């Protein structure tokens, strides 16, 4: 049932539960149903009173009359946008926002996403008008403070990673991957090695890695994983050769394990003339403890929105600066912030003889995500070097607490080979016939938890990847563990009610595959009101 401003628009009747009748509104207590904005507004309504132009026609959609001055530009057909008053608009979006789940509401164990608390201090700093109100085209001498933030953050990122330089402009992890691969391509072309056309990617990689390599014009070849969940170093070395441009390796990897052979892999790739890209999305597990530069890495993106606590989810804004080794630094993208004397300047063009001489160009129109830079620098400064080290230690401790609390209930394929890093990985092995990871995820929703990452990484059947981060208390972890244990026991016992979970959510099992494959992006009125009411 959905609600129209001017009355009800009945849809499928709601079923009551037991002796309790369904509500006539479709609402469940103060959880309100909300229709699409197109269903509650119509194009004849507006929240603003306009003076009618003489013999007006444009506003109602009828042909222009002699009275208006728009001539042929006057709209001939209705605009098709819903009109709502201000209070209706506020309610619409507030109701929708209450159906969302976010890190400020509860535990968000999405593996590989580092859904940590976003400290409010970061928000306060990012909202200072000197940062939030600057315009990217303002004269450089009026934005010295903003440039200093970018410059200071860049220095921290270079220091924490042990690399040579950093490109701040990429706007997400995947964008950073593209940045790194384009720098590798520029470096190879500068050496006359543009014929290297293959990028090696481990089986456990995030989908963005092969997608990036393919997008940049490379062939992608898989490197198998060992039974322990790490890159098969021997297989990788055997594949190196004159056609290989480089490798893309995630460390810690998406099985939640540290790639212990990283230095050996980097040396072998370099000896074979290739470059090493590291997917640094999981940097939270090693920040303050491992410097990727010491592992022979040439380029790595850092998800400020994961490791450095800037908000994410729902599409952004992200920020994915890329750190570079000395070998790749000349090819990094523009712009750069540089300190010259006591002035900060924006280097926006290749300058011969300087370290950006071979830059592959620009990735974005301006300089990157100022709000994210301010939040990330605030986070880094408020934690300090010792605090950042404790972040990774606590993140790893929390993940191991989850792994060891649940590895007798759920199958933990790599559990026997030792502790994990920042995330705990389980499989669907041992569930009753016909039960799978999706049933556990849906059961968790009834318990008030956002599900973990499911069916990824692909190297584990029915994978469940749980990343608690360091910002959850032991009490929060214990509650989650109790919930997941209970749901897992039901899945092992074949409890049929789990197959139809969630029972308490406004919507239960949507056809997510159909929604992804055939998204309906344009709203069409299913039936005129009069018909629907019959």
Ligand X SMILES: *Cc1c(COP(=O)(O)O)cnc(C)c1O
Asked if 490 touches ligand X (CB under 6 A), the answer is no
318 touches ligand X by CB under 6 A: yes
498-527 binders of ligand X (CB under 6 A): none
Residue closest to ligand X when measured from CB atoms: 173
Whichever of 301 and 356 has its CB closer to ligand X, that residue is 301
CA distance 171 to 179: 10
**Interaction mask 247-276, ligand X, x per CB under 6 A:** ---x---x----------------------
Task: Determine the interface stretch with ligand X among 169-177, 228-236, 467-475, 503-511 (rule: CB under 6 A).
Answer: 169-177
Q: How far is the CB of 259 from ligand X (least distance, A)?
A: 13
Binding status of residue 174 toward ligand X by CB under 6 A: yes
What are the residues whose beta carbons fall under 8 Å from the beta carbon of 287, sequence distance 6 or more?
A: 160, 307, 388, 389, 391, 392
C-alpha 356, offset from chain centre: 30
CB of 176 to ligand X, least distance (A): 7
Considering beta carbons, is residue 57 or 202 the nearer one to ligand X?
202
Query: Interface with ligand X includes 370 (CB under 6 A)?
Result: no
> According to the binding rule CB under 6 A, does residue 279 interact with ligand X?
yes
Q: Looking at beta carbons only, is 186 or 322 nearer to ligand X?
A: 322
Q: Supply the minimum distance, in Å, between the C-beta of residue 520 and ligand X.
A: 25
- Residues ≥6 apart with Cβ < 8 Å to 354: 347
On the question of a cis peptide bond just before residue 411, with omega within 30 degrees of 0, the verdict is no
State the number of CA atoms in the 13 A half-sphere of 18 facing the CB: 1
* Rounded CA separation 135/411 (Å): 52
The residue (of 250 and 309) whose beta carbon lies closer to ligand X is 250
Q: Are the C-beta atoms of 205 and 222 separated by less than 8 Å?
A: no
For residues 84 and 41, the answer to whether their CB atoms sit within 8 Å is: yes
Length of the chain (residues): 534
Q: Which of 160, 125, 41, 28 is nearest to 91 (CA)?
A: 41
CB closer to ligand X, 112 vs 165: 112
- What is the maximum alpha-carbon separation in the chain? 82
Label residues 36-60 b or e (16+ Cβ within 10 Å = b). Answer: ebebbbbeeeeeeeeeebeebbbbe
One residue of 57, 64, 82, 173 binding ligand X per CB under 6 A: 173
Quick one: which of 40, 172, 201, 424 contacts ligand X (CB under 6 A)? 172
Choose the stretch contacting ligand X; rule: CB under 6 A; options: 172-180, 321-329, 483-491, 504-512.
Answer: 172-180
Sorted by sequence, the CB contacts under 8 Å of residue 532 that are 6+ apart come out as 9, 10, 526
Among the listed residues 82, 246, 320, 335, the single contact to ligand X using CB under 6 A:
320
The answer to whether 206 contacts ligand X (rule: CB under 6 A) is yes
Residue among 249, 392, 376, 245 nearest 319 (CA) = 376
Cβ nearer to ligand X, comparing 310 with 374: 310
Q: Report residue 220: phi and psi, to 5°.
A: -110, 130
Question: Which residue, 172 or 187, has its beta carbon nearer to ligand X?
Answer: 172
In the complex with ligand X, the residue whose CB is nearer, 356 or 375, is 375
Among 227, 269, 234, CA closest to 249: 269
Show the site string, 127-166: x = touches ligand X by CB under 6 A, - = not: ----------------------------------------
Q: How many residues bind ligand X (CB under 6 A)?
A: 15
Q: Give, to the nearest 10 degrees, the angle between helix 173-190 and helix 208-215.
A: 40
The interface mask with ligand X, positions 379-418, x = CB under 6 A, is ----------------------------------------
Enter the tokens of residue 94.
């507030």
Residues 291-310 that bind ligand X (CB under 6 A): 303
The DSSP bridge pattern shows strands 464-466 and 2-4 to be: unpaired
What's the Cα-to-Cα distance from 17 to each of 3, 12, 22, 495, 501, rounded to whole Å? 22, 16, 7, 20, 15
- Indicate if the alpha-carbon torsion angle 436, 441, 442, 447 is positive or negative: positive
Q: Which of residues 86-125 bind ligand X (CB under 6 A)?
A: 112-113
Q: Which is nearer to ligand X, 452 or 491 (CB)?
A: 452
**Site for ligand X contains 457 (CB under 6 A):** no
- By CB under 6 A, name the binding residues for ligand X: 112-113, 172-174, 206, 208, 250, 254, 279, 281-282, 303, 318, 320
């Amino acid at each position: 049932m959905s609600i129209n401003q001017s009355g009800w628009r009945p849809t499928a009747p709601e079923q009551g539960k037991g002796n309790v009748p369904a509500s006539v509104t479709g609402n469940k207590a103060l959880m309100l149903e909300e229709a699409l904005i197109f269903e509650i507004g119509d194009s004849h309504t507006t929240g603003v009173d306009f003076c009618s132009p003489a013999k007006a026609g444009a506003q109602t959609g009828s042909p222009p009359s002699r009275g208006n001055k728009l001539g042929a530009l006057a709209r001939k057909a209705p605009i098709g946008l819903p009109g709502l008053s201000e209070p209706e608009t506020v309610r619409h979006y507030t109701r929708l926002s209450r159906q969302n789940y976010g890190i400020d509401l509860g535990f968000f164990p999405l593996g590989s996403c580092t859904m940590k608390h976003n400290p409010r201090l970061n928000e306060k700093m990012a909202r200072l008008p000197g940062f939030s109100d600057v315009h990217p085209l303002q004269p450089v001498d009026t934005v010295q403070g903003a440039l200093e933030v970018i410059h200071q953050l860049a220095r921290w990122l270079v220091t924490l990673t042990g690399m040579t330089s950093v490109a701040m402009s990429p706007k997400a992890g995947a964008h950073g991957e593209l940045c790194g691969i384009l720098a590798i391509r520029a470096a190879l072309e500068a050496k006359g090695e543009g014929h290297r056309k293959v990028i090696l990617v481990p089986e456990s990689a995030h989908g963005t890695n092969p997608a990036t390599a393919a997008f940049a014009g490379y062939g992608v070849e898989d490197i198998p994983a060992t039974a322990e969940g790490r890159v098969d170093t021997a297989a990788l070395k055997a594949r190196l050769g004159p056609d290989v441009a480089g490798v893309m390796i995630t460390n810690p990897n998406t099985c939640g394990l540290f790639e212990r052979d990283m230095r050996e892999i980097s040396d072998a790739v370099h000896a074979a003339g290739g470059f090493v890209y590291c997917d640094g999305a999981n940097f939270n597990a090693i920040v303050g403890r491992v410097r990727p530069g010491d592992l022979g890495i040439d380029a790595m993106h850092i998800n400020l929105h994961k490791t450095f606590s800037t908000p994410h989810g729902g599409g952004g804004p992200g920020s994915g600066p890329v750190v570079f080794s000395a070998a790749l630094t000349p090819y990094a993208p523009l712009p750069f912030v540089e300190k010259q004397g006591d002035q900060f300047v924006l280097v926006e063009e290749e300058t011969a003889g300087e370290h950006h001489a071979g830059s592959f160009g620009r990735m974005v129109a301006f300089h990157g995500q100022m709000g994210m830079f301010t939040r990330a620098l605030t986070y880094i400064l408020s934690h300090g070097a010792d605090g950042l080290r404790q972040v990774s230690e606590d993140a790893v401790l929390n993940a191991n607490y989850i792994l060891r609390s649940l590895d007798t209930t759920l199958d933990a394929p790599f559990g026997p080979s030792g502790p994990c890093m920042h995330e705990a990985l389980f499989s669907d092995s041992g569930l009753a016939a016909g039960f799978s990871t999706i049933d556990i995820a849906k059961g968790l929703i009834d318990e008030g938890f956002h599900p973990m990452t499911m069916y990824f990484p692909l190297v584990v059947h029915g994978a469940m990847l749980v990343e608690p981060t360091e910002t959850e208390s032991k009490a929060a972890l214990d509650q989650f563990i109790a919930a997941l244990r209970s749901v897992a026991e039901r899945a092992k016992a074949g409890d049929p009610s789990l197959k139809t979970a969630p029972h308490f959510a406004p919507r239960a099992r949507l056809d997510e595959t159909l929604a992804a494959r055939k998204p309906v992006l344009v709203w069409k009125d299913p039936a005129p009101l009069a018909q629907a009411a019959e």
